[in-house]
Each structure stands twice: as structure tokens, then as C-alpha cells.
Structure 1
Amino acid sequence: MRVLVTGGAGFIGSHLADAFLGRGDEVDVLDDLSHGRPGRLAPEAALHRASVTDATALAEIVEKVRPELVCHLAAQIDVRQSVADPAADAQANIVGTINVLEAARAAGARVLFASTGGAIYGRDAVIPSDEEQRPEPEAPYGTAKFCAEQYIGLFNRLYGTRHAVLRLANVYGPRQDPAGEAGVIAIFCGAVLRGERPTVFGDGRQTRDYVHVADVAAAFVAAAGSPRAGVWNVGTGVETDLLTLTGLIGRAAGTVADPVFAPARPGELVRSALDASRAARELGWRPSVPLAEGVKSVYEWARAGSPDRTA
């Protein structure tokens, strides 16, 4: 099929573009390159520079490309930035998604939306959280993502579309920029490579569900092959605390990653993990990359100089 990936020059989006190219699909990428990098893309992927917040430019590109599937990953992803400027976050994550839905409707394309699992369920969620858990986001970022999900459901009801939502756990892997909470593995690997001690905020017992980007790409491919609308968690269901994570990075590096402790950051979730059994039942998707193996892949990528692409 012909696939358009918004945010496709980013960390996750570029892996997703590779996954669809690898199975023989035609892939176009839309990215404003505010964070994405063209070097992450395979030569076969056609790059269109535009923002999803520019409805006119987006519509023109979608009309030209005529995709059958739009994987919508373009987003404002910094939780702290969403707190500092919630209006800008809403413009990117809510209005941008509406623009994508309208452009896709004009082209007759289906949309797969990359939402958040870690930021949408909230501090009181049952762990691991399934899709029936009531969303109670703690920041504008999670609120905007949940609002965008509601528009996807609305379009499905109004127009009979089969758009779907994938709620992602903490995605990690090669090509990840070492910034933000979701980039903690890349950040820690970089620190160890420089001979520095990684900084842990709080006591290091806070947990996250780390899912490798290759597994996330496989989840999108599985959802693309399903005709149904739905909301699916994409995670491992396993909680890993930061102290365990530093131990895994130390073993990958052949050293001891002894962390430095700093005060906990206000509003940080103590625990987070996603129940992805619905995706297993309905899509046949299961994570396959063990965390120790995935952490080693990030460390080796960082040691190689953090290239946009590897041979």
C-alpha cells in the first residue's frame, strides 16, 4: 500500500518508515524537521517538509500523495513544555490531529494515531493499565493526546472510518534523541560513554514500561493489517525501575553505572506499565525484544557515534 508517515523523520517515525518499506510498501514522510532529521530516512522514502498545523499545506501534500494509510506520529512530545505552554501543545497535538483527519478523509485514507500510554492513565491507575482504565492525565500533553483520541472516535462515528489508536509505553532504541523522560536509556548510555555518572531524580524506584522501537514499528504494521478500529496499548506490561535500568546499562558497557541522585521532579509518576493483552488477542502482536538486549543495542549505537542510520 501507499503509506504516509507524519513525523516520519523522527525517532519512532523513521523506524516505522523502514518497517513499511521493508515489506514493499511505498512510503512518503511529512515532517517539519523541527526535531526530525532527513538523514534518518532511507533513500526510498519521499520527504515532504511541512507541519501538520498548516492545514492547507498538509491537505495539498495528502492530495498529491493519495495514501491509503496515514500513520500520524507528528506531535509536541515534551511534557514539561506542555505545562509551560499548553496552548502550543494543543495546537500541535489536537488541531494538528484534526487537520490530519480532515486531509485523510478527503483522500479516503485510514489513520493510525500514535497516542501515549504512560501519560494518559494517571497516578492512580491500576498497574499494568489496560485500555478500560479511565484516563486521568497529569499534564497538558496527556490531556491533548486523549482529546485527539476523542476526535478519532468522533470521525469514526460521523464518517464510518476505521481509524485506530495505539497507546505507546516508553519507547526506546537507536536514533532516539537524549532528551526528555522517554529518552532516559539514551541519556544514561551517553553519560556512561562519557565516563560520567547518570543522574537519577528521586530514589530510583519509580518504574516505567520500556518497549523497543522495533516492537512499536511491528505493532503499527500489525494494526495496518487489521480492518478494525480500536484502541490498543503497545507495551511489555513489565515495570522496570531506574536502579535496575542503570544496572543493565552498566552490564552493556562492561562497567558499573553508579548513579548520582537528585531531588525528585514534581508531578512525576511513581509507576507506569501497560497491559497489551488486547493487542495480542486482536492484532497478534507481542513484544519480542528483551530489555537487556534492547539496552545493549542502544549502547552500541551510542558507542558508534549515534548515527542517523546504520549500515
Structure 2
Amino acid sequence: MDTVLVTGGAGFIGSNIVDRLIKNGDKVIIIDNLSTGKKENINKKAIFYEKDIRDKSIEEVFDVERPKYVIHHAAQIDVQQSIENPVLDGDINILGTINILENCKKYDVKKIIYASSAGVYGEPEYLGIDEKHSVKPISNYGISKLTPEHYIRTYSQIYGLKYTILRYSNVYGIRQDPKGEGGVVSIFMDKMFNKENPIIFGDGSQTRDFIYVDDVVEANILALQKGDNQIFNIGTSVATSIKELFDIMNSIIGYNLKIDYSQWRKGDIIHSYFNISKAKNKLDWTPKYSLEKGINIVINYYK
């Protein structure tokens, strides 16, 4: 049994990771300030601390619980918010991560798993994007997710802290909040269940790489023991247009809704999908859920 600290463990992805760790028999500690995380997401078998990752008092958690591993998901993840309030975005994502790293160093944490993002790549120079692709973020959020990667590598070099960095494509699944951290799947679902037409910015031809949350959880679990000091893209390598996504969801829900089209948004990337061969080879990880299968699970859950 390992002791694992999950930051953001009351959030969408973090809470799903916590559930799996507890199912695996690990002792799990959660740090979450509940700004976007929800109390009802917290596994009753986990030890929960309502704290902000920027707070100096998180040292008490490390001192009392002595985690062997840290899975770091607490973050500001709203791209528009990062543009409107770059100071808050940098404070949480960069300084918050440094605070976590300082405690990892002081309390001899063996390894940190860091949730990064496709946003670090910026406008794709080629598809599928692999880990050798240049990193040129085009949003403050992309910058604030990339900067901690540099800190993590530096802490590893200086202090011997092992790490695995997982760069996620578009994650969707159970517990995703359409209001707070919502991706397009949860936003569409919210609209559709309320029998409102979803809005698509542009003509719907833009593509994304949609990955089901359970596949992301599996990557985190594998990274505890594999992929030391490496970066991995976690996606499906499948490009799906927003219009295709709508059609799949519409056919499953069966409400026969239409799309309301709106203007393209500034700074939106048109096409993006990952090359995941490195994660397959080095992490021994392969996504198991097709988009249809994942969407079916989510829709049936919320029905």
C-alpha cells in the first residue's frame, strides 16, 4: 500500500483518479480548495484537507501524511479566465506548483505526476503532435501549464525528485462540470438535456482529440511505476470534428436538436490531435474507450 497525495482530488479528473487509487488499496490524501472541485466528488475513504495549493499550511499535510507519491491536478484551467486574470492564473498554476515541489523536496516524496495540457504546444506545426513538437503556447493558460514543467525537471535534476509529465488532449467524462471546468462534451450535454441547441463557434469543422477520463486515470496509475523523468501525450490519436461530436451525441440522446453557429473565436486552434506512440511504448498505455463508447457511458450516467 502506497500513500498518494492527489491535489485537486475533488475535481473532475482528480476525483476519478482518487477512486481508482482507493480501489487499488492505496492510502489517499486529497488537497482541494473546492473552488471548482465538489464535496460530493470526494471518496469517503480518502483523507481530505480543504486547502489551497498556494497556502504555506499545506506543509502540515506533508508533515503529517508523508506521501510517497504526489499526483498534481489542482490548477486554474479556464483559458478565458487566464486571459482576463493572468496574475491569478500564474499564481495558482506556477507558484502553487512551486509550493508543492518545495514540500516534495522537504518531505522526500519519491515521485510527482503532473497534469499538463495540449495547450503547451500552441498552433500545431504538424499532426499528430508528438512530444518533440515545439512548445509555443498561445494563451496564458498554456504558458502557466508549461512553466511548471521546467520547474519539475529542474527539481528532478537538483534534488533527485522523479517525475512523469502527462500532457492531456480534450478530456471528457463523468463529473465534468459544464459551468466551471467544462469541456465541449459537458457543455453540449448540458444544453441537450435542457433541450437547447448547442452553440458551435465557427463552422464545426475544427477537430480535437477527445479522450475518456478512465483512460486518463489509467495513464496516471501506470505513471506511478513507469515513465520516470519523461513527458507523454495522453490522447487517442483520433481527430473528431465538433460537428461529428454533436452528431454522435444527438443520435444517442435522440432529441433531434440543431446547432446554433456563432463567429470563430480569436486564438482558437483549428485542428489538433496527438501522436501517442511514446505513451504506448514507454508507459505500456493504450486508450480503451472509443468516443462513441465514452459518450454512451456519460449520457447514460446523467440520464
TM-score band (shorter)? Answer: over 0.9
C-alpha displacement at 1:16, in angstroms? 0.5
**Equivalent position amino acid for 1:156 in 2:** S
Contact 2:195–2:257 (CA under 8 A) maintained in structure 1: no
C-alpha displacement at 1:182, in angstroms? 5.2
C-alpha displacement at 1:180, in angstroms? 6.7
- Deviation readout 1:80-106 (Å, 9 max, x if unpaired): 010111111111011111111111111
Taking the aligned partners of 2:36 and 2:228, their CA distance within structure 1 comes to 32
C-alpha displacement at 1:192, in angstroms? 1.4
Taking the aligned partners of 2:288 and 2:98, their CA distance within structure 1 comes to 33
Contact 1:170–1:182 (CA under 8 A) maintained in structure 2: no
Taking the aligned partners of 2:5 and 2:181, their CA distance within structure 1 comes to 28
Structure 2 unmatched ranges of 5 or more: none
- Deviation readout 1:217-241 (Å, 9 max, x if unpaired): 0000010121621101110011111
Taking the aligned partners of 1:257 and 1:289, their CA distance within structure 2 comes to 25
Contact 2:219–2:285 (CA under 8 A) maintained in structure 1: yes
Contact 1:115–1:165 (CA under 8 A) maintained in structure 2: yes
Q: Secondary structure at the match of 2:232?
A: strand
Taking the aligned partners of 1:123 and 1:271, their CA distance within structure 2 comes to 9
- Deviation readout 1:111-138 (Å, 9 max, x if unpaired): 1000002x11111331110000011111
Q: Secondary structure at the match of 2:57?
A: helix
Query: Where does residue 231 of structure 1 map in the other structure?
Result: 231
Contact 1:247–1:256 (CA under 8 A) maintained in structure 2: no
Taking the aligned partners of 1:183 and 1:299, their CA distance within structure 2 comes to 15
Contact 1:76–1:93 (CA under 8 A) maintained in structure 2: yes
2:75 equivalent to 1:52:
no
2:181 equivalent to 1:178:
no
Contact 1:3–1:68 (CA under 8 A) maintained in structure 2: yes
Contact 1:171–1:210 (CA under 8 A) maintained in structure 2: yes
Contact 1:174–1:301 (CA under 8 A) maintained in structure 2: yes
Taking the aligned partners of 2:250 and 2:157, their CA distance within structure 1 comes to 50
Taking the aligned partners of 1:299 and 1:256, their CA distance within structure 2 comes to 15
Q: TM-score, normalised by structure 1?
A: 0.94
Taking the aligned partners of 1:125 and 1:161, their CA distance within structure 2 comes to 32
Q: TM-score, normalised by structure 2?
A: 0.97
Taking the aligned partners of 1:273 and 1:95, their CA distance within structure 2 comes to 29
Mapping 1:143-154, distance limit 5 Å:
143-154=143-154
C-alpha displacement at 1:183, in angstroms? 1.5
4+ residue segments displaced more than 3 Å: 179-182
**Equivalent position amino acid for 1:82 in 2:** S
Contact 1:162–1:228 (CA under 8 A) maintained in structure 2: yes
Q: CA RMSD in A?
A: 1.2
Taking the aligned partners of 1:124 and 1:246, their CA distance within structure 2 comes to 24
- Report the count of equivalent residues: 301
**Equivalent position amino acid for 2:30 in 1:** V
Query: Where does residue 69 of structure 2 map in the other structure?
Result: 69
C-alpha displacement at 1:198, in angstroms? 0.9
Query: Where does residue 26 of structure 1 map in the other structure?
Result: 27
Taking the aligned partners of 2:104 and 2:269, their CA distance within structure 1 comes to 35
2:214 equivalent to 1:206:
no
Q: Secondary structure at the match of 2:162?
A: coil
C-alpha displacement at 1:19, in angstroms? 1.0
2:249 equivalent to 1:249:
yes
Contact 1:127–1:274 (CA under 8 A) maintained in structure 2: yes
CA change 1:179–1:206 in 2 (3 A) is: farther
Query: Where does residue 267 of structure 1 map in the other structure?
Result: 267
Q: Secondary structure at the match of 1:115?
A: strand
CA change 1:301–1:232 in 2 (3 A) is: same
Contact 1:152–1:163 (CA under 8 A) maintained in structure 2: yes
Query: Where does residue 308 of structure 1 map in the other structure?
Result: none
Query: Where does residue 40 of structure 2 map in the other structure?
Result: 39
Taking the aligned partners of 2:160 and 2:269, their CA distance within structure 1 comes to 37
Contact 2:227–2:282 (CA under 8 A) maintained in structure 1: no
- Deviation readout 1:285-305 (Å, 9 max, x if unpaired): 0100110011112222232xx
Q: Secondary structure at the match of 1:34?
A: coil
More off after superposition, 221-230 vs 141-150: 221-230
Structure 1 unmatched ranges of 5 or more: 304-311
Query: Where does residue 283 of structure 1 map in the other structure?
Result: 283
Taking the aligned partners of 2:121 and 2:177, their CA distance within structure 1 comes to 25
